[in-house]
Amino acid sequence: MRQKRVGEPTSGGTSSATGETARVFFAVWPDPEVRGALDLLARDCAARTGGRAPDPANLHVTLAFIGNVDAGGVLVLREIGFNAAAAAAPFRLILDRIGAFHKQEIVWLGCSGMSKPMQALADRLFSQLGAAGFSLEPLPFRPHVTLARRARTRALDWTGDGALGRPIAWNISRLTLTASTNAQGALRYLAIDSWPLGGRDQSAD
């Protein structure tokens, strides 16, 4: 049996964290090796900007943020997640550009070019969510990992348009429906369910 890693969801069964309502989103989560590389970069960026790096277990890329839903909504979202994941194939995401949301004081890691497979997965989610009656903000999809918050973003060296010297290659093979909670100022994420892209776990081979 494959062991679950930190930050990896448990399939089957809605988490008790969803309770009456849950603040949820679809995301992809890194494997331990990629998480370690992201954590090193996040701590470096936080040190250089006086910001705060996320807990390593919180590092992820959001594909679609839904917001608060009840238990019935979670059931619909699980069906959407299953269908969207089954229609996609595993792919590699190349993270090679550091950028910032200056107003929000956030430093992020993203892509210099659009990942077509990730864009297709996000588009599929948005289409199915809209058809199911979920209201989403019509913002352009910009896949990114948050590296630091409350950061002095202007302190970063933007030579080369934020190009990362050693890009991080991330093999993505699962889609996750995640609930977020904020207990005593600590942000925590708990997976509700997850599905292998293409409908088959690579670890099963």
Q: Does 89 map to a domain?
A: yes
Q: What pTM does this model have?
A: 0.85
Residue 15's pLDDT is what?
40
Q: At what angle do helices 71-86 and 116-131 cross, to 10 degrees?
A: 140
Q: Are 55 and 105 in contact (CB under 8 A)?
A: no
Q: Does 203 map to a domain?
A: no
> Measuring CA to CA, which residue among 69, 94, 78, 79 is closest to residue 163?
94
Per-residue pLDDT of the chain (205 residues; tens, 9 = 90+): 232 333 443 333 334 343 467 889 999 999 999 999 999 999 999 999 999 999 999 999 999 999 999 999 999 999 999 999 999 999 999 999 999 999 999 999 999 888 999 999 999 999 999 999 998 887 788 899 999 999 998 888 665 568 888 999 999 999 999 999 887 777 889 999 999 999 876 554 4
Q: Does 81 map to a domain?
A: yes
Domain count, the chain: 1
Q: Does 70 map to a domain?
A: yes
Residue 175's pLDDT is what?
98
Q: Does 129 map to a domain?
A: yes
Residue 131: give the domain boundaries. Answer: 21-94+115-143+170-198
Q: Does 86 map to a domain?
A: yes
Q: Does 77 map to a domain?
A: yes
The amino acid at 163: A
Which of helix, strand or coil describes residue 94? strand
CATH of residue 121's domain is 3.90.1140.10
Q: Does 151 map to a domain?
A: no
Residue 188's pLDDT is what?
87
How far is residue 111 from each of residues 11, 94, 116, 133, 142, measured CA to CA in Å?
A: 29, 6, 11, 30, 8
Q: How many CB atoms lie within 10 A of CB 136?
A: 13
Q: Give start and end residues of each alpha helix (H) in the chain.
A: 32-49, 71-86, 116-131
